Amino acid sequence: MPRSEPNPGPARPLGRRRPDPLGTSLTWLSGASLALSLLLIVGLLVLLAAQGLGFFWQGPVHQLQLADGTRVIGEITATETVRAPANSEAEARRIEEEGAPTRTQLKIGNRDLYGLDFRWIDDSDIVDSTTPADLVMIERLEWGAFFGRLRELRADGRVLATGEDAWREVLRLLPEKAKLRRQVRDLEKGEIGDINHELEELRLAEARIQRAEAQGAPPDDAARARIAARRLQLESRSEALAVERARLQTLLDRERAVFVAGDGRSKEIGAGQILRALRPNAMTTLDRLGVYAGRVAEFLFDDPRESNTEGGIFPAIFGTVLMVFLMTFVVTPLGVLAALYLREYAVQGTTVRLVRIAVNNLAGVPSIVFGMFGLSFFVYLVGGSIDRLFYPEMAPTPKFGTGGILWAALTLALLTVPVVIVATEEGLAAVPRIMREGSMALGATKLETTLRVVVPAAAPGILTGMILAIARAAGEVAPLMIVGMVKLAPSLPLDHHFPHLHLDRKFMHLGFHIYDVGFQSPNVEATRPLVFATAFFLVLIVTAMNLLAISIRNHLRRKYATSAV
Amino acid sequence: MTTPRPGERERLFQGGGRMPDLHASGSGVGLPTRHGVDPAIDSDIANPLLRVEALELWYGSNQALHGISFLIPEKKITALIGPSGCGKSTLLRCINRLNDLVDGVRIGGDILFEGRSIYDAELDVNQLRRRIGMVFQKSNPFPKSIYENVAYGPRLHGTTQKARLDELVESSLRGAALWEEVKDRLHDSALGLSGGQQQRLCIARAIAIEPEVILFDEPCSALDPVATAKIEDLMYDLKSRFTIVIVTHNMQQAARVSDYTAFLYLGRLVEYGPTTRIFTKPEKRETEDYVMGRFG
C-alpha cells in the first residue's frame, strides 16, 4: 500500500548547502578571543616566573679587563644596544659598518666599597673577559653581595690561613656560624623577648594601680612592691642575657676573612656576617641547583633584611594568608546568613529587590572607600572605644585604636560580603522546591529544612562565594594601607605569648611588599627581580588558596549533587 | 439498615454541599449503590479517618477547589482521579497542609483528622505532617546517603540512638520492598538509585516516621511499567498498616489499587464511591465519559 503523503503539493527541493560567512567568522572571532585571553594569562605567569625565578640561579662570575687598565668583577645581568644619535658623519658610517655599539650591565656588588651594585660598561672598553675559578661570591648580612678573591683568614689579629687553606677554612666555619646566629636569634626572640614582654606587662600593671589610686582606691603598696621586686629580678636576668648575647656576638665575628675586590682594594668581613660563600665558576650544575633550592627556601621562610631588599618574604606571606583566613571566617557566616534571610525568609517584593540592588552595588564601590570606612569606623570608633573601655592604662599608646590585622580583615570582609551573598543566593535558588517540600512533608520545621537540606545542598554555591571572596581579598592592597598594613612588622600576629593570636598587631602583606620593594626602595635595580619573585609567589599563594577551596567545593558537589537520577 | 433518602444521596456524593454529620445521625449511613447498601462499605465509612468538608481553595483570585466533601476511610486506598488541572493534587496537598508553603493560597471549608480540624490555628502543623506522610510525583530523595534519607525523619523527631535508627532504617526499607536491593550500599548516595528505587526510597522515608496516612501524588507517573507494578504491589501491602490516598491520572491504576474513588472535574467533586461502582456503574455522565476514556 502506498504511503499517504502528509503534505501533498509541489515538491520542495532540499537545496545545496549555503556558505554562512557570518556564522563562520563569529566562531573564529570567539575562538580567537578565548585564545587571546588564555595567552595573556599564560604570558603573565611565564613573565613573572622567568623574571622572578631566574634571580635565584647562580650564573658565572666574570672578570673584565678594561681599556683604561682597571679590572671589574661581577655577574652579567643584561646587554643592550646603545641607540644614541651619531655626532658626525664618520661616526654614522662606522655605526653603519660595524653595527651600533653595545654595552653590558654588570652586577658588581660591594656596595660598601663602590656605592652602587650595578654598572654599565661599553663593550668597546672591554679588552678581555675571563671566568677564573678562584673568584668568590659572598652573600652577607649587610651591604649585599661581595665579589672578589679571598686572601686570608684572620683571628685575633693573627693570620689563620691563606689561599686555598683559607677557602677550606671559611667553608668549614660557615655551618658553625649559622648555628651561632640561630642561638643569638633564639636568645633574642626567646628569653629576651619574654623578659621584655613581662616588663611591659609590669609597666601596665603599675599604670593600672596608678589609675585606680587616682580614682580614689586605697594605695596598694604591696602590689607595687611585688612589681618592683619582679622588675628588679627581670632586669638582672636581662643584663645577664645581654652579656651572653655579647659573648656570642664576639664569638660570631672572631674569625675575619680578608677579601680583595676587583679594583684591588681589600675588605675584611667577619665570618659571622657571611651567609653563603661560593666560587660560582667552579660550581657544577648540581651545586648550582643546590644553591638555587637553598635561596628559594630562604626567600620563602626567612625574615626580610636591609629594609626589605634582601632576605625572605615569610612575614608577608604569613600576614597575607592569616588576614585572608580571618576575613573568610568573618565574611562567610555574615554573607550566608544575609543571603538566607534574603532568599528564604524575607517576603519577596520591592524592598527585597532594592536590597539586592544595593548589595550588588556595594561590590562596585572603590576599595579605598572601604579602607576609609574601616579607618574611621573600625579603627577610630570601635577600636578607640575598646581602648578607652578595656585598656585605659595603655594610653596614650593605642592597642586596638590603630590599624591592625583584625580591622584589615573586617574591612576586607565588608568589601567581599556582596560576592558571598550573591553566590549563596544563587546556590539557594538552585535547590529545588520539591526538596524543601520533601523535608517539610516529613514534619520538619522551616529551620530544620533550611539547616539540614537546603544549606548542605547549597554548600557548593556558598563555597563559590568564598572562593571569589578569597581571590578578591588576597589581591586587595589599597584599603589595607590605611587599616594596619605596614612595610616591616616587628613581630608576627601569631606567637607563643598569650593569647597567641594578636589581632591588634600590624602585619605585612605581599601586595604591599611588592609596592614597597619595587617602588620605595633606594636600590631599584637590585630589587627588581625580588618584585617579580614576590609577585610570582603572591599569584601562587592566591592560586593555592583557591585550589583548596575549589577542591572542597568539588567534594561537596559530589556529596550533595542535587540533580536526581 | 436504613437507606438514605434520595435527596440526601445526591448531596452526599456529588460535592458542592456540606457533608452531613454521619456520626451524628447515628444511623450507620452507608455508601449507597444502585442495589442498596453494601454492609462492608457501611462499616468503613462509619468510622472515617479524615473528613473533607466543603473544602474551597483559591490561588489569589483564582478558585481551584469548589466545595469538596468526602470521607477517607481508615486503612483503605482512596484514589483521586480526574483530568489534568482538575485540582486533585491541590486537594491532596490540603490534607497535610503543604499548600501553606505556597504564597497567595486561601482555604475555606475544613478537613477533620480524627475529628479535629487540621486548619485549627492551635494545631502543630509539623506534628500533623508527621502523622500524614507524603510521596511526591517526582522522586525527591535528599542528596544524602540511602541510610541518611530514611533516618532523616526519625532523627527530626528525636530518635538519635544508633541501634534504634538502624532498626528503623531496615524495617522501613523492608516495608518499601527495597531492603534486598540496597542493604549492601546503605551509605552510598541515594541519587545513584534508579527512578523506581528512588521512589521506593521516598516511600521508605515516609513510613520511617510511622505515619497514619500516606498521601501519594501520582507516584508512578515518571516510572516504567515494571517499576509501576512494584509500587502498586507495595501500596497493596501497605494498606494493612496505613490509610492511603493516591492521586493518579491513570484510570487502570486507580481501578487496580483503590477501594474508593473520587472523580474530580474542574475543581469540583463529581462523584465518589467504591471503586468498583465508579468504574462499572457510574451515576454521572461525566464520570462515565472519563472512565471510558472519552475525554481527559
- The H-assigned helical ranges of A255-404 are 285-301, 314-340, 350-362, 367-373, 384-390
Give a yes or no: residue B208 inside a domain. yes
CB < 8 Å to A438, chain B: 136, 140-142, 202, 205
Helix (H, G, I), strand (E, B) or coil at A562: coil
Query: Is B10 inside a domain boundary?
Result: no
User: What's residue B7's pLDDT?
Assistant: 39
B136 lies within 8 A of chain A by CB: yes
User: Would the CB atoms of B133 and A445 count as touching at under 8 Å?
Assistant: no
In this prediction, the answer to ipTM > 0.85 reads no
For chain B, how many structural domains are there in total?
A: 1
Cis peptide before B154 (omega within 30 of 0): no
Give contacts of B209 with chain A, Cβ < 8 Å. Answer: 442-443
Is the pLDDT score of A565 beyond 80?
no
Asked if A564 lies within 8 A of B140 by C-beta distance, the reply is yes
| Residue B58 domain-assigned (yes or no) | yes
Question: With 90 as the cut, is the pLDDT of residue A8 above it?
Answer: no
Q: Is some CB atom of chain A closer than 8 A to the CB atom of B227?
A: no
Q: What percent of chain A has pLDDT over 70?
A: 97
For residue B112, being part of any structural domain is answered with yes
- Give yes or no for residue A330 having a pLDDT over 80: yes
Lowest mean pLDDT among A216-220, A362-366, B262-266: A216-220
Would you call B140 and A565 a contact, using CB atoms and an 8 Å cutoff? no
**A520 versus A439: which is more confidently predicted?**
A439
Contact A445 B130 (CB under 8 A): no
Q: Do A564 and B202 touch (CB under 8 A)?
A: no
Q: Which residue of B98, B139, B189 is in closest CB contact with A441? A: B98
Angstrom distance (rounded) from CA B287 to CA B83: 11
How many A×B Cβ pairs under 8 Å? 79
DSSP state of B271: E
Contact yes or no for A266/A151 (Cβ under 8 A):
yes
Q: Chain A partners of B133 at a C-beta cutoff of 8 Å? A: 441-442
Which positions in chain A touch B153 (Cβ < 8 Å)?
442-443
Q: Which helix (H) or strand (E) element contains residue A75?
A: strand A71-81
- More confident: B296 or A434: A434
**Mean local confidence (pLDDT), A259-278:** 89
* Per-residue model confidence (pLDDT) at position B56: 92
pLDDT at B28 over 90: no
Q: Let me know if residue B5 belongs to a domain.
A: no
Which three-class secondary structure string do you get for A461-473?
A: HHHHHHHHHHHHH
Distance CA B143, CA B88 (A): 29
A137 in Cβ contact with A145 (< 8 Å): yes
Q: Residue B157: its chain A contacts at CB < 8 A?
A: 443
Per-residue pLDDT of B49-103, as tens digits, reads 899 999 999 998 899 999 999 999 999 999 999 888 888 999 999 999 998 888 8
**Look-up of cell digits 597567641:** A500
Alpha-carbon span B195 to B177, nearest angstrom: 14
Biggest CA pair distance of chain B: 60
Element at B13 (helix H, strand E): helix B6-14
Out of B129, B143, B189, name the one closest to residue A440 (CB): B129
B107: distance to nearest CA of chain A, Å? 19
Q: Could you report the per-residue pLDDT of A138-193, keeping only the tens digit for each?
A: 999 888 889 999 988 988 888 888 888 889 988 999 999 999 999 988 888 888 88
* Interface contact flag, B136 A432, Cβ < 8 Å: no
pLDDT over threshold 70, residue A209: yes
Find chain A residues with C-beta within 8 A of B191's C-beta: 561, 563-565
Mutate to test the interface with B, among A431, A442, A560, A563 (most CBs of B within 10 A): A442
Is B138 an 8 Å CB contact of chain A? Answer: yes
Q: Please indicate whether, in this complex, the C-beta atoms of B142 and A563 are within 8 angstroms of each other.
A: no
CB-based contact (8 Å) between B206 and chain A? yes
DSSP B103: T
- pLDDT of residue B29 exceeding 80, the answer is no
The neighbouring-strand residues paired with B112 are B51, B117
How many Cβ atoms from other residues are within 10 Å of residue A98's Cβ?
9
Interface of B with A in 5-34 (CB under 8 A): none
Whether the model clears a pTM of 0.90, i.e. scores above it, the answer is no
Cβ contact, residue pair A445, B126, below 8 Å: yes
Per-residue pLDDT tens for A76-112? 888 888 877 767 787 778 777 777 788 899 898 888 8
Cα dihedral A227/A233/A236/A239 (nearest 10): -70
Burial class (CB in 10 A: 0-12, 13-18, 19+), A334: middle
How much is the average pLDDT of A527-539?
Answer: 88
Confidence category of residue A9, pLDDT binned at 50, 70, 90: low
pLDDT at A291: 93
pLDDT tens-place string over residues B101-128: 888 899 999 999 988 899 988 889 999 9
Spatial CB neighbours of A175, under 8 Å, sequence gap ≥ 6: none
CA distance B93 to chain A (A): 10
Query: Does the CA dihedral A490-A493-A495-A497 come out positive or negative?
Result: positive
Whole-angstrom Cα distance, residue B171 to residue B178?
Answer: 10
CA-CA distance, B174 to B150, in Å (whole number)? 12
Q: Which amino acid is at A307?
A: S
**Under a CB-based contact definition with an 8 Å cutoff, are residues B111 and B120 in contact?**
no
B183 vs A95, residue with greater confidence: B183
Give B88 to chain A, closest Cα distance, Å: 18
Q: What angle do CA A109, A111, A113 make, to 5 degrees?
A: 110
B285 found inside a domain = yes
Rounded to whole angstroms, the Cα distance separating A2 from B231 reads 45
The pLDDT of residue A549 is 81
Find the domain containing B78 and state its range: 18-291
**Backbone dihedral region for residue B116 (phi beyond 0: left; psi -120 to 50: alpha; all else: beta):** beta
Cell of A96: 653603519
Is B199 within a domain? yes
How far is B193 from B171, CA to CA, in rounded Å? Answer: 19
DSSP label at A402?
S
Work out the angle at residue A194's Cα, subtended by the Cα atoms of residues A191 and A195, and round it to the nearest 5 degrees.
Answer: 90
Q: What pLDDT is recorded for position B20?
A: 39
pLDDT tens for A36-78 read 999 999 999 899 988 888 888 898 999 999 988 888 999 988 8
Note the pLDDT tens digit of each residue in A466-516: 888 988 888 888 999 888 888 888 788 887 877 788 888 888 998 899 888
**Is A505 in contact with A491 (CB distance < 8 Å)?**
yes
Per-residue pLDDT tens over the stretch A333-364:
999 999 999 998 888 889 999 999 999 898 88
Q: Is the Cα torsion angle A340, A341, A344, A349 positive or negative in sign?
A: negative
pLDDT of residue B15: 38
C-alpha A108/C-alpha A124 separation (Å) is 19
Partners of B144 on chain A (C-beta within 8 Å) are 456, 560
Say which of A434, A457, A565 has its CB closest to residue B143.
Answer: A457
Cell numbers linked to A283: 660550581
Mean pLDDT rounded to a whole number for chain A: 87
Q: What is the pLDDT of residues B125-170, one digit of tens each?
A: 999 999 999 999 998 999 889 999 999 999 998 888 999 999 999 9
Considering the domain boundaries, does residue B86 fall inside one?
A: yes
CATH code where residue B117 lies: 3.40.50.300
pLDDT of B39: 54
